[in-house]
């Protein structure tokens, strides 16, 4: 990664290295089993196929999390997200690592001037630190919850994402993989 910045002729102070991913959240839930002495607790379960998506990018060095809730995945939605990240960090060159989803490579994808996209190897989600954001959201904000509407899901997502965006030390600890931090 450091070599990539040098190849682009940019110092780390004027650049950001970010990792992007998206995840689906919806009204379906999978209750976790638990034991309670003497009684069996009720855990509500629902199977409703209504979903929304969260696009997120993390900077493990600064603990930055940028996210948007968008109701679909496509090149158009990805372009909106990239433009928003670009505006938030307009003074920096953004080196964005992402998986090889079809909408990440689509001809219609609009990539901002201050951004370079680099793909992870195919089928390697374990390399992407942004995946840990989804684990944290699901564990802390969606554990054994049911929702009356997709709007309620989005409200809960907004609360969780705002909390995470305001916790840079948590984002650093979730996403600061040794191989990333030691490369720069």
pLDDT digits (tens, 9 = 90+) for 107-161: 999 999 999 999 998 888 888 999 999 999 999 998 877 788 999 999 999 999 9
Q: Among residues of the chain, what percentage have pLDDT more than 90?
A: 62
How confident is the model over 84-92, as a mean pLDDT?
A: 96
What CATH number does residue 92 fall under?
3.30.420.10
> In a 3-state reduction of DSSP, which class is residue 64?
strand
- List the beta strands (DSSP E) in the chain: 15-26, 51-59, 64-70, 93-98, 115-119
Question: What is the C-alpha to C-alpha distance for residues 2 and 10, in angstroms, rounded to an integer?
Answer: 10
How confident is the model over 16-39, as a mean pLDDT?
A: 78
- What is the tens place of the pLDDT at every residue in 99-122? 988 888 899 999 999 999 999 988
A 10 A CB-CB count for 16 gives 22
Q: What is the pLDDT of residue 131?
A: 93
Q: What is the pLDDT of residue 124?
A: 85
The predicted model scores a pTM of 0.82
User: What total number of domains does the chain contain?
Assistant: 1
Question: What is the C-alpha to C-alpha distance for residues 60 and 32, in angstroms, rounded to an integer?
Answer: 30
Answer yes or no: are the C-beta atoms of 82 and 111 closer than 8 Å.
yes
The parent domain of residue 11 ranges over: 2-181
How confident is the model over 72-77, as a mean pLDDT?
A: 94
């Amino acid at each position: 990664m450091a070599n990539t910045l040098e190849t682009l002729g940019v110092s780390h102070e004027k650049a950001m290295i970010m990792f992007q991913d998206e995840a689906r959240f919806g009204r379906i839930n999978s209750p976790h089993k638990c034991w309670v002495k003497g009684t069996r607790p009720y855990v509500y379960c629902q199977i409703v196929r209504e979903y929304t998506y969260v696009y997120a990018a993390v900077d493990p060095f600064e603990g930055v999390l940028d996210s948007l809730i968008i109701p679909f995945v496509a090149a158009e939605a990805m372009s909106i997200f990239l433009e928003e990240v670009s505006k938030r960090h307009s003074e920096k060159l953004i080196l964005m690592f992402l998986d090889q989803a079809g909408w990440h490579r689509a001809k219609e994808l609009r990539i901002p001037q201050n951004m370079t996209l680099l793909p992870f190897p195919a089928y390697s989600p374990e390399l992407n630190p942004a995946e840990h954001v989804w684990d944290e959201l699901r564990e802390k904000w969606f554990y054994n919850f049911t929702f009356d509407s997709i709007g309620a899901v989005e409200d809960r997502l907004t609360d969780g994402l705002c909390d995470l965006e305001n916790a840079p030390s948590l984002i650093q600890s979730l996403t600061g993989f040794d191989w990333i931090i030691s490369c720069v």
